[in-house]
Structure 1
């Protein structure tokens, strides 16, 4: 997985076809390499930039009846890392985002939220963060408050070991709103060493009642010095699964 310590990311805001003069969102990110979780240094990985710059091309999710006064949070990012994707989504979709990760990662998420608070506010977005352990995903997350599920879940570069497909699926099932408007949006590198994990993840998500409705592939720009393809995909609940969940 490619990573970098660049502090400033320019995320495209315009639709549908970006050009060199397209308006961009400026996100300030810190990458404290001394911080680790699960033996992986905290960094901004390639999938995060790919997905952050793909959000403006995706159909805008329906965020009706989310937020304060409801039981549904607008946007939740799993395994947020430095938070680039979740922060970008907050501004692009003009919503409140909750960035989650393991406890050692959260202080940096807090710092990145503080660094970008004014930028997000310019576009009508905001962000909070909290600890979410995929092995115990129903535990209350500080930033979510009483809103236990999310209309949209984001996940970038979250599958790099054989344990992750089961854990990520568990977290998605626990936290994705049960409804036709709910969406899971993911991105990951198509490296040979991870393909079996990706296949396993797809199989588990399908078994859980989700279906992929949109997908595509992108590559990073030359500054990353790699040519690995990245795949992004959008999922929703199958209609028959939603009918089974009705009381």
Structure 2
């Protein structure tokens, strides 16, 4: 049987989602917990990798196992076993061919900015003390939707076959004492959101003009875009799937 597991995690203590040699990952931690409870090796396939320090308020993964008779009890036992920085919200049976990564229709991220020192957000938000022009940042963010090739925002060493992404929305919002960048696309390249945010911040600081963004994107050169912002303020906030994944 194939199962989807919905979870969330604070990524501060982990070297990202994906298993890595000699490093603690969310994937490895979850697989260990499932093995402890089910007493069989479980291979968990995630919706995609998140970098070290990145958080997820909604994440999905799938795994195969024999029929699990009491899913609610398994959720309870998993949460009792896992550390407080990982929580399992849901566990449900899906179509045998359903895939947590390849069946995702869209993914959404948020990046959190604070503009003054705050002891309650210093671990999960990026501090930018200088004044930012939010109107220019939003004008530039909106223009991202006109483009599809985002090689200029991609990590240099990557094995992807295409740099094309369909950005569905991108906007900066004021939320009390934070600025939050929200972006949704069908897929994202490695380091893409952090590079976009770094570039938009340079526009907000007046170091880059809004009109230059199009030139940067067309250049397909990572060196022309802004510096990647720290991972600690990035959140994967949503993954959308077709309803057909639960149909047998």
TM-score range, shorter chain: under 0.3
TM-score, scaled to structure 2: 0.22
Higher relative contact order (CA 8 A, sep 6+): 2
